Structure 1
Amino acid sequence: MSQALKPAPAGAPAEASNRVSLGLSNRLLARPEIGALVAAVVIFIFFLIVAPAFRSAPSFFTVLYQSSTIGIVAVGVGMLMIGGEFDLSAGVLVTAGGLFNALFCYNLGINLWVGAILSLVFCLAVGFLNGYLVMRTGIPSFLITLGTFFVLQGANLGVTKIVTGSVSSQNINQMDGYASLNWIFAHVFQIGPVQLSITVIWWLAFAVLSAYVLQRTRIGNWIYAVGGSAPSARAVGVPVKRVKIGLFMTVAFLGWFTGMHYLYNFNVLQAGNGVGNEFLYIIAAVVGGTLMTGGYGNSLGVAIGAFIFGMTSLCIVYAGWDPNWFRAFLGVMLLLAVLVNLYIKKLSTIRKVG
């Protein structure tokens, strides 16, 4: 005679449903970008209330443009930080790339495309040198790139002063190749009453590409591995040196790209520009959920962090407040982001262990 089946306890379906809901909730909270997303929504609503000028579509698209000028380089800086390194030369490298293109072509009278390509080679060489020195010497990237920062800052000012007699490049808007380069790096689309800068499109494209590389490719796995523990990654066959040098060169490429935008958007560049922007890139990455210890973060979070920067930097002005408070806000936001990121990382670790 077959044994009778025992009925399930009356509360079993509800308990199972609660466990599933709790698991989904923990997985959601453990995502690196969730803290930045919540912060972005709160800040967005807050400025909608206190800054009436922010409620118009043109103002929102201006915020997107401001975010993109930081967000493009922040994508590369975020990947580099996930890989366990920093680049303090990224801000001045943006200016160096643009100055190289402008000064070289104007003074030799050659097509701007030639200067743009040579400028790219120069920036990639700087990125390679940063990565090579970090891996070759074992000196922390903070110190190596700080040295590069001072070299580039001095060269930007010194070379520009020698070549032009001032601290700004010449106007290049009448030179061969300007029109096509301006379209690629600084075109503005008119969409009804609003203007959409092409940099916003490039920013989102780079963020999506970075997210795909990090989440869907072997290289992405390598980046997380070297950021978590380089010796362990090396022990399982990850090419640590190539990965880290590649990350520095990625930052250099995106720095060059942003430098091209500034040059072809404004037609001239001030040699002292870019100083301090390296911290904005790092802040965007940290606010977006990237741990400064490496091995944790994603590109979506970095993009949200850049949007928070663009939103607050302009909305403080829209609200009629003293813009000098913006730096204080950045400091507070950075400290809060570090605390939130550590808490979310702890949740993620608990979930994996459980």
Structure 2
Amino acid sequence: MFDTAAKQQGDERVKSRSRFREALISPELGGICGTVLVFTVFLLTAHDSGMFNAAGVLNWSVVSAQFMILAVGACLLMIAGEFDLSIGSMIGFAGMTIAILSVNMGWPLWAAILATFVICVAIGALNGWICVRTGLPSFIVTLASLFILRGFTIFLPQTLVNKTIIGGVLDVADGDWLAPVFGGTFLKGLFQWLGDIGLIETFSQGVNKGKPVVDGVPMLIVWALGLVLFGHILLTKTRFGNWIFASGGDAESARNSGVPVNRVKILMFMFTAFCATVFATCQVMEFGSAGADRGVLKEFEAIIAVVIGGALLTGGYGSVLGAALGALIFGVVQQGLFFAGVESSLFRVFLGIILLFAVVLNTYIRRIITGEK
């Protein structure tokens, strides 16, 4: 029987059972250290900029939630030993599909959203099926999907409406029962109460006088936290979670032990596509439009967040909580540079440095786990 992780019940590949060694190989260690470091830096450099008041916290929380939604799907898939480079294009494709079906074809928004989920999850299943049936690396299969989906995302709106941005989604969303699930806010009453008692800032004039600056938790954040909780429980508390680790750790041994490796991998591709579609739907509801350029490079940012969170590129090891912390680091740094008055282009420099550091650290951890020299 495969264990969910070495840090929980012990792994036969781990050579030492000392507490220090167990802590060292914890998937979340890098994410925890990085989170503490990042928050410490910005508490010292940007504490007077509004980064940690209600509006500032909402700002970087929303950005972190975007990374987090994608990171959950990418994390489970990477632990299962596969990659999906098409999720960035899937975001643009899903958003454009929702807009075309609802705005241009007159579908109810709820029907357009549900149809888009079915289409995108089916594409994820197709990616997985091709990988397991042909034996081709998922890197190649999903790279092909990246270009195919991006091409359709540009071609379809140009052909139908002769433009690459379709607006008017909020108009068709008015009164729709499903729209608030992706574009609404949660706990409005609580935030109004917090504003009334002075715990958070309120508007002092204008039509919004007396209303809190932050009037609730965006559904994007609710989706992010919900997916993290679901992914963590699935991975650490269920037999299917054991199968995910086993499929990425040693697929052949897993098959010999009765694990349905092919089914696990296909389902993880489908879940990754689901997460990308959740992101796209929330984004469309936020902006009220769909653009052909949405989601560019998001696949790499998701993978980097997962690597920062402690997942091994070789599969079979990782943590959803670690990936969530990696996404949090992304959001805080991206917005923190703005609050600290640092040139925003340096965010890419940070990505490169942190990726290199995370890969080196994860390689060292892999050697500890496997006993390699």
TM (normalized to structure 2)? Answer: 0.85
Shift of 1:113: 1.0
Alignment equivalent of 2:351, drawn from 313, 330, 335 = 330
> Is residue 103 of structure 1 aligned with residue 103 of structure 2?
no
Determine the structure 1 residue equivalent to 2:73.
76
Alignment equivalent of 2:126, drawn from 124, 129, 136 = 129
> Is residue 93 of structure 1 aligned with residue 116 of structure 2?
no
Query: Does the Cα contact within 8 Å between 2:77 and 2:83 map onto a contact in 1?
Result: yes
Determine the structure 1 residue equivalent to 2:39.
44
Q: How is 1:260-299 mapped onto 2 (pairs within 5 angstroms)? A: 260-299=281-320
> Is residue 152 of structure 1 aligned with residue 123 of structure 2?
no
Measured in 2, the distance between the counterparts of 1:347 and 1:43 equals: 27
In the alignment, structure 2 segments of 5+ residues that lack a partner are: 1-16, 201-213
User: Which SS does the other structure have where 1:166 is aligned?
Assistant: coil
Measured in 1, the distance between the counterparts of 2:20 and 2:321 equals: 19
Alignment equivalent of 2:221, drawn from 197, 200, 210 = 200
Query: Does the Cα contact within 8 Å between 2:109 and 2:179 map onto a contact in 1?
Result: no
Measured in 2, the distance between the counterparts of 1:285 and 1:92 equals: 19
Query: Does the Cα contact within 8 Å between 2:70 and 2:279 map onto a contact in 1?
Result: yes
Determine the structure 2 residue equivalent to 1:209.
230
Measured in 1, the distance between the counterparts of 2:173 and 2:284 equals: 15
CA, structure 1 residues 270+178, in 2 after alignment: closer, same or farther (shift >3 Å)?
farther
Shift of 1:349: 4.8
AA partner of residue 263 (structure 1): V
Determine the structure 1 residue equivalent to 2:261.
240
CA, structure 1 residues 176+41, in 2 after alignment: closer, same or farther (shift >3 Å)?
closer
RMSD: 1.7
Measured in 2, the distance between the counterparts of 1:176 and 1:340 equals: 46
AA partner of residue 253 (structure 2): S
Query: Does the Cα contact within 8 Å between 1:31 and 1:348 map onto a contact in 2?
Result: no
Measured in 2, the distance between the counterparts of 1:261 and 1:199 equals: 6
Which of 245-254 and 336-345 deviates more? Answer: 336-345
Which of 264-273 and 78-87 deviates more? Answer: 264-273
Query: Does the Cα contact within 8 Å between 2:173 and 2:179 map onto a contact in 1?
Result: no
Measured in 1, the distance between the counterparts of 2:176 and 2:164 equals: 25
Determine the structure 1 residue equivalent to 2:111.
114
Shift of 1:347: 4.0
Which of 335-344 and 93-102 deviates more? Answer: 335-344
Query: Does the Cα contact within 8 Å between 2:333 and 2:347 map onto a contact in 1?
Result: yes
Q: Which of the pair is proportionally richer in helix?
A: 1
Determine the structure 1 residue equivalent to 2:137.
140
Determine the structure 2 residue equivalent to 1:221.
242
Measured in 2, the distance between the counterparts of 1:169 and 1:69 equals: 21
Measured in 1, the distance between the counterparts of 2:115 and 2:44 equals: 48
AA partner of residue 34 (structure 1): L
Determine the structure 2 residue equivalent to 1:7.
none
AA partner of residue 260 (structure 2): P
Measured in 2, the distance between the counterparts of 1:172 and 1:202 equals: 20
AA partner of residue 141 (structure 1): S
Shift of 1:245: 0.4
Q: Deviations over 1:87-113 (max 9, x none)?
A: 000011012112111101222212111
Q: Deviations over 1:11-39 (max 9, x none)?
A: xxxxxxxxxxx933332222101111011
AA partner of residue 350 (structure 2): F
Shift of 1:117: 1.1
Shift of 1:188: 2.6
In the alignment, structure 1 segments of 5+ residues that lack a partner are: 1-21
CA, structure 1 residues 82+46, in 2 after alignment: closer, same or farther (shift >3 Å)?
same
Question: Which structure has the larger Rg?
Answer: 1
AA partner of residue 38 (structure 1): C
Shift of 1:258: 0.9
Query: Does the Cα contact within 8 Å between 1:181 and 1:264 map onto a contact in 2?
Result: no
Which of 252-261 and 58-67 deviates more? Answer: 58-67
> Is residue 252 of structure 1 aligned with residue 273 of structure 2?
yes
AA partner of residue 30 (structure 2): G
Shift of 1:348: 4.4
User: Which SS does the other structure have where 2:164 is aligned?
Assistant: coil
Measured in 2, the distance between the counterparts of 1:317 and 1:148 equals: 34
